Chains A and B, each alone.
Chain A
Amino acid sequence: MSVVAPPRVPGRPPLRIGRRVSGVWRPRSMLVAVLGLAATVLAMAVNIGRGEYPISVLEVLGVLFGGGDEVGRFIVLELRLPRSLTGSLVGVAFAISGAIMQAIARNPLASPDIIGINAGAGAAAVGVIVLGGTYGAVSGLVAVVGVPVAALAGGLLTATLIYLLAYRKGIEGYRLVLIGIGINAVCVSVTSWLLIVADVTDAGRAVVWLNGSLNARGWEHVAPVGLALLVLVPAALLLAFVLGALQFNDDTARGLGIRVNGARTALLLVAVALASVAVASAGPIVFVALVAPQLALRLVGSSRPPLLASATVGAALTVTADLIARTAFGATALPVGIVTAVLGAPFLLYLLARGNREVRV
């Protein structure tokens, strides 16, 4: 029995693991992903080092890789690492979610912060803060479990609603985005109603949450988002295999043997779950899901947002934004979401000014 040599395509060197798994070896994508990871670790080290008791970057890195003295270990591992770790995990979740959605909709604007998933999660969480709160102090079980669970449920519910409304013999990118924009408006208006009903202190807390904040994060906050990512990221990477084929029109994708609607639904489900988990963990941090995949796309030079590179770029972005938010304005520590908004906005305007050429009806 003669083995037929697998076809080789110029410019697409194969990467084979065994006989059943194969892909295209893209060194630049890997390089960007690794660089993003390095940037994340560095940003985390700087972020951990800054504070009441400053620690040098080298010392922090030493502790992170297993060295350091007693005091340093306690401060770094118990007090400061959870915050940066939550930030980077949330960044990964937002970025992968955005990358998948943008690839499916073939539109950079189709990220969870624009199509209303963040707004839905936000409305649900604000509802819990406002209706379950007692004058400024959401306490006990409600604060630890209620707000994140409400955000998760709100995000998933909103996404389901958008999906059902946008479904019309299949899912089309622009219809998904436009319906998302409509639903977003409703969620925003519900949120503003809740803010009126609330006591002003509760409203203040709700606004802090709505901006996305990493304040006072401990290991108990890292664990849920970490576990969720452990399931969702591999699922995303596996499902993303068909993203390349989905870039063509539906007929071509079907001709290539893709179950178009099934694949899209599964991918969207993972993307929405990632975004909802991230919102539940740190609040709706805007623009990470929009900017990170686009940045990674430009760094890699690929045709669609690369998932792994987006993930590490997203983590690096979020941690850096948190670093700026904590330290750039002296004593007032801003929520990280404000920094991502201010940094992301110019990029968004650039995308809009240029990207219109790529948007097709």
Chain B
Amino acid sequence: MTTVAPRHPLGAGRGGAGAGMLAGLRRRRLLVVALLVALLVLACLASVAVGAKAIPLGEVWSALVAPTGGENDIVVRALRVPRTILGIIVGAALGVAGGLMQGHTRNPLAEPGILGVNAGAALAVVIAIYTLGITSLLGFVWFAFAGALVASVLVFVLGSVGRGGATPVTLALAGAAVTVFLFALVQAVILLDQQALDVYRFWVVGALSGRDPAVIVAVLPFMAAGLLLALAHAPGLNALAMGEDVARALGQSIPRTRVVGVTAITLLTGSAVAAAGPIAFLGLVVPHVARYLTGPDHRWLLPNAALLGASLILVADVAGRVVVRPGELQVGIVLALVGAPFFVALVRRTRLMTL
């Protein structure tokens, strides 16, 4: 037997040069956060100013601060501002949910849309329309939650029952299969009832326009709770990123971290889907960009994903308003068209990146 020299876990790297590097990293991360905040502010301004009726920024300001009841004031206060707020919370929720999903599954392809959560919410909403005659977005919220929860648990269980646990490929496949199944059931319901179809088709496309501001109030508590949970268990997620065995050795309670994570994911995606309809690919793209900017530390990654998600959805929404004037392309469609190439590029890399 050879003897191994004992090494202190916090060895020499803690001193001199290491501290300097750490400070540099911290500066860089703070700079990134500042830039993302600036980006979000710009996106908000664009979202309020650009549209079928362009409004100069000066008038936007006066509409916000000292409304006179003119046409521009009404457009800004009643339409554009609620829409922008909705975009911010939905984008932030989806960005963080995507980050959580990728962290928990250690799967670069994890995303609410790919993993069947959206389909679950869609089925629940359609059942609500069909059996209970609910037509208001406010009424959908609870059903979307329930559907999202059931579908996400189903996909996680199916994707990880086999030997070897959940790999990127098995989870993506399980999600796709469950999505096909759930959407087939959705089709069956909307076929029986044209009324349901008429309500459903405007919900399923995923849009920020035409949503009742009361929806924002209704989903906000759930999103806030989800965000807090997500940020609170970020350190646990960091430990999990090294594998379950290492995390356990570091004193993490794996079941607790998982339960908190799945709760947060469900709260965030469920409320986002309830508020804006299923929006795919946002939760996929945003965490990757955030990871590129700040590294894999979830304590930084998750807040940055929130900022970035909000900015991206607003930019996509503005783009949708501009490209087919005077009509609109819904934000869900814009994001699918932008996000799918990103997904394809990820898959095409020689080795699927493992987190």
Contact = CB atoms under 8 A, between A and B. Distances in A.
Interface of A: 107, 109, 113-114, 165-166, 168, 174-175, 177-179, 181-186, 188-190, 192-193, 195-196, 200, 203-204, 207-208, 210-211, 286-287, 332, 334-335, 337-338, 341-342, 344-345, 348-349, 352-357, 359, 361
Given A168-B348, A203-B201, A211-B187, A359 B169 contact: yes
B280 A189 contact: yes
23 contacts: A114-B180, A165-B344, A181-B114, A181-B172, A181-B176, A182-B340, A183-B340, A185-B114, A185-B340, A190-B336, A193-B205, A196-B330, A287-B180, A332-B192, A335-B191, A338-B187, A342-B184, A348-B180, A348-B181, A349-B158, A352-B159, A354-B162, A361-B168
B113 interface: yes
B343 A182 contact: yes
A354 B174 CA distance: 12
A255 B169 CA distance: 28
A171 B340 CA distance: 20
Interface string B142-163: 0000000000000000111111
B136 interface: no
B158 A204 contact: no
Given A204-B194, A341-B185, A361-B167, A196 B180 contact: no
Contacts of A192: 201, 204-205, 332-333
Given A113-B180, A207-B197, A177 B173 contact: yes
A175 B188 contact: no
A107 B170 CA distance: 11
Contacts of B140: none
A359 B172 contact: no
Q: Is the interface of A mostly helix, strand, loop or mixed?
A: helix
Contacts of B205: 189, 192-193, 195-196
Interface string B183-202: 11101101110100110011
Contact of B177 (A114, A165, A204): A114
Given A345-B185, A359-B162, 19 more contacts: A168-B348, A175-B348, A178-B172, A178-B347, A182-B340, A185-B113, A185-B336, A188-B183, A189-B280, A189-B337, A193-B329, A196-B205, A207-B187, A208-B191, A211-B191, A349-B181, A352-B177, A356-B174, A357-B164
Interface residues of B, number: 52
Contacts of B222: none
Contacts of B158: 349, 352-353, 356
Nearest to B171: A356
Contacts of B281: 185
A207 B190 contact: yes
A348 B179 CA distance: 12
Contacts of A211: 187-188, 191
B228 interface: no
A184 to B, nearest CB: 7
A207 B191 contact: yes
A265 B191 CA distance: 37
Contact of A356 (B162, B184, B185, B337): B162
B102 to A, nearest CB: 15
Contacts of A178: 109, 169, 172, 347
B355 interface: no
Given A181-B114, A189-B333, A341-B181, A352 B188 contact: no
A342 B343 CA distance: 30
B19 interface: no
A109 B197 contact: no
A109 B176 contact: yes
Given A189-B205, A345-B184, A356 B170 contact: yes
A208 B201 CA distance: 14
Contacts of A356: 158-164, 170, 174
A118 to B, nearest CB: 9
Given A189-B332, A196-B330, A361-B167, A210 B204 contact: no
B162 A357 contact: yes
Given A341-B181, A349-B158, A193 B344 contact: no
A286 B109 CA distance: 25
Given A193-B333, A196-B330, A345-B184, A355 B162 contact: yes
Nearest to A339: B188
A238 to B, nearest CB: 31
